[in-house]
Amino acid sequence: MTENQYDYVVIGAGIHGAGVTQAASAAGYRVLLLEQYAEAAQGTSSKSSKLIHGGLRYLESAEISLVKECLRERTLLLSNAPHLVKLKRFYIPVYKSTSRRPWKIAIGLWLYSLFSGRDYHRVQKKHWPLLDDLRTDDLEAVFSYCDAQTDDARLTRAVLASALSLGAEIRYNTSVQRGVRDAEGIAVQYQSDGHAHSLRAAVVINATGPWVSEVHYRLTAVGGLPIALVQGAHIVLPGKVSHPYYLESPGDRRAVFVLPWKDQVMVGTTETDFEGDPAGVTATDAEVCYLLEIYNHYFQQNMTISDVQASFAGLRVLPAGEGAAFTRSRDAVFVRDDATQPRVVSILGGKLTAYRATAEKLVQSLKPHLPEREVIADSRRLMLPMVD
């Protein structure tokens, strides 16, 4: 291969770009990752709820295979990145007014524990006072189950460091402009340092998260991916909670988390339709007030906007549709420019938790279309390195 020729060019250093770069490098391919910013994880992969979880609530929408896959990946991450992924005991309080009744939550948790091999239990009333300042009036039951927390940006950097150790290359401050396919592959044009550059790849992976539609158009000249962008905000508050809590918003009945985060409290998330430049997404005042209200309600506080230490928002890439964002699938979807000989594959949606499985599926599906290479590692067994 010449200097500027790759098997894979991956665009976007979020968790999916990092995951595909790692999986493709492990499969023996020559891989280059291009990122528009100076650092990795500047998009959604630093703005998530930072949970490595099966997604208990996806059981409600019967996304059983997604829950199972995420729980399998959680197990792998707990052993491959114990310094980054920590198992925690989560608590679900059920009040007289909670719409999901204790029997329904118990069934969900039973299934969840069956899939994950981790226990759940009903917390005895005498232990309720140990649950931070959680209000206990009208409290009917409290359940406890296991899930995991991480630092999403650090996890992304660790996966990238693993990919680099397998021989991958990365170029920051490069913005992909255009792709031109031909019989042998695809030419990718990008801007860097104010100059135009070009390289060649057998296949380009568009892992640009909320920018996916625009970049797909740049690469294929075909637009209109069937997606909607829905923003999710978090706030960080002073104080501490000793455990993660899974709560039901008293107003609209959505699931909201209150999480311990770097000696403070993180509350999220929301679902607000978004249009515009993904780079400009921020938490709105309405979202901040919504999250404050939930925290104040359950933890008997009187915090106001002036108490908020930080807020951030990320963009979910969901299938376009009429239904509530809450009910739309979170599974990753691959869109190919051509079924017979794909040169561009765009990744839509997906979960931080399932990044490795998503990347592995993508690399396996492209194998018949690429030259044969000697596998050098199995991503299921790669320990993730320590990173800053």
Ligand X SMILES: Cc1cc2nc3c(=O)[nH]c(=O)nc-3n(C[C@H](O)[C@H](O)[C@H](O)COP(=O)(O)OP(=O)(O)OC[C@H]3O[C@@H](n4cnc5c(N)ncnc54)[C@H](O)[C@@H]3O)c2cc1C
List of residues contacting ligand X (CB under 6 A): 11-17, 34-37, 42-45, 47-51, 175-176, 207-211, 215, 232, 269, 314-316, 350-353
Nearest to 210 by CA among 299, 313, 286, 310: 313
Which one, 50 or 154, has the nearer CB to ligand X? 50
Q: Which residue reads 């199995």 in tokens?
A: 378
279: DSSP letter: G
Task: List Cα–Cα distances, 37 to 24, 164, 178, 190, 331, in angstroms.
Answer: 22, 18, 18, 13, 26
Tell the smallest beta-carbon distance from residue 229 to ligand X (Å).
9
**Contact between residue 269 and residue 257 where contact means Cβ atoms under 8 Å apart:** yes
Cβ of residue 140: shortest distance to ligand X, in angstroms? 27
Which two tokens mark 253? 């009945």
CA 358 to CA 381: how far, in whole Å? 16
Min CB(278)–ligand X separation in Å: 7
Q: How far is the CB of 126 from ligand X (least distance, A)?
A: 32
CA pair distance 155, 383, nearest whole angstrom: 12
**Residue closer to ligand X, measured from CB, 56 or 141:** 56
Closest to 155 in 3D by CA, of 371, 373, 356, 360:
356
Nearer to ligand X, 98 or 272 (CB): 272
Task: Note whether 68 and 54 are within 8 A (CB).
Answer: yes
Name which of 12, 74, 4 is nearest 351 in CA terms: 74
Nearer to ligand X by C-beta: 80 or 141?
Answer: 80
Report in angstroms the alpha-carbon separations of 289 from 148, 268, 388.
27, 11, 33
> Closer CB to ligand X, residue 27 or residue 359?
359
User: Which of 183, 178, 225, 230 lies closest to 202, judged by CA?
Assistant: 183
Radius of gyration of the chain (CA): 22
- Beta carbon of residue 47, minimum distance to ligand X (angstroms, whole number): 6
Return the number of the residue (25 or 208) whose C-beta is nearest ligand X: 208
CB of 96 to ligand X, least distance (A): 29
Q: What's the min distance (Å) between Cβ of 90 and ligand X?
A: 12
Give me the residue whose beta carbon is nearest to ligand X.
14
Task: Give the whole-angstrom CA distance, residue 344 versus residue 377.
Answer: 25
CB 211 to ligand X: min, Å: 4
**b/e map 303-326, b = 16+ CB within 10 Å:** beeeebeebbbbbbbbbeeeeebe
For ligand X, give the closer residue by CB, 181 or 234.
234
23: left (phi over 0), alpha (psi -120 to 50) or beta: alpha
Compare residues 141 and 295 and give the one whose CB is closer to ligand X. 295
CB of 300 to ligand X, least distance (A): 26
Q: Which is nearer to ligand X, 71 or 131 (CB)?
A: 71
